[in-house]
């Protein structure tokens, strides 16, 4: 295997060490999960507490969902409308989610290029720091838990809705957050070599 200073370049010559394969692969998985969680309507859920029939709504960053066929679990997603409580907190969660997707994608490209091109320790450190920044932005998607869609009673007349509970989209955020963090850690390990 060529060393960092050997000058050999080419696809998969690993001039920065084999350790840079790990953040590239984990970052790819995190990017896909992050993108899916950004646009799903099954991010968190709220259950109505007042009536005999418990009704559950799924909420996402950009849309909400309603199960239309309980036999098959078919769910339809609807974009938030003018009457829905979209507040600054939900807007912040959306913005940080988009930053995580875009910034993580750019960092991922740099990470993949590190398997072909020798980088200085500074550049590897920047890649690691970028993964950590992406991790931070990914976690801020969970601001939805304190947004009005999760804290105010909705309906006409307003019904007592329970607090938001994590659903598959929020779990995906947690998994992506961990993958971004491990990717950043591995890039920093490569920097120290």
The pLDDT of residue 98 is 95
**Alpha carbon distance 93, 61 (integer Å):** 7
Residue 1 pLDDT greater than 60, yes or no = no
User: What's the mean pLDDT in 124-148?
Assistant: 93
pTM for this structure? 0.83
Residue 69 pLDDT greater than 90, yes or no = no
Higher pLDDT, 184 or 80: 184
DSSP-derived secondary structure for 79-140: E--TTS---HHHHHHHHHHHHHHHHHHHHHHHHHHTTTS---HHHHHHHHHHHHHHHHHHHG
* Weakest-pLDDT range from 10-19, 22-31, 40-49, 102-111: 10-19
For residue 47, the SS3 value is strand
With a CB cutoff of 8 Å and minimum separation 6, the contacts of 59 are 41, 43, 44, 45, 46, 65, 144, 149, 150, 164
């Amino acid at each position: 295997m060529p060393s960092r200073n050997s000058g050999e370049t080419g696809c998969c010559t690993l001039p920065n060490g084999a350790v840079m394969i790990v953040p590239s692969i984990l970052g790819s998985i995190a990017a896909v999960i992050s993108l899916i969680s950004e646009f799903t309507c099954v991010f968190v859920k709220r259950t109505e507490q007042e009536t005999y029939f418990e009704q559950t709504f799924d909420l996402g960053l950009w849309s909400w969902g309603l199960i239309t066929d309980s036999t098959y679990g078919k769910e339809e997603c609807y974009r938030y409308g003018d009457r829905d409580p979209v507040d600054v907190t939900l807007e912040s969660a959306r913005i940080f989610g988009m930053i995580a997707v875009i910034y993580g994608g750019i960092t991922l490209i740099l990470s993949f290029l590190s398997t072909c091109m020798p980088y200085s320790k500074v550049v590897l450190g920047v890649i690691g720091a970028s993964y950590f920044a992406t991790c931070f932005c990914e976690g801020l998607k969970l601001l939805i838990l304190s947004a009005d869609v999760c804290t105010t009673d909705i309906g006409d007349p307003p019904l007592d809705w329970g607090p938001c509970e994590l659903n598959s989209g929020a779990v995906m955020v947690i998994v992506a957050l961990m993958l971004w963090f491990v990717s950043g850690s591995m890039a920093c390990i490569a920097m120290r070599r």
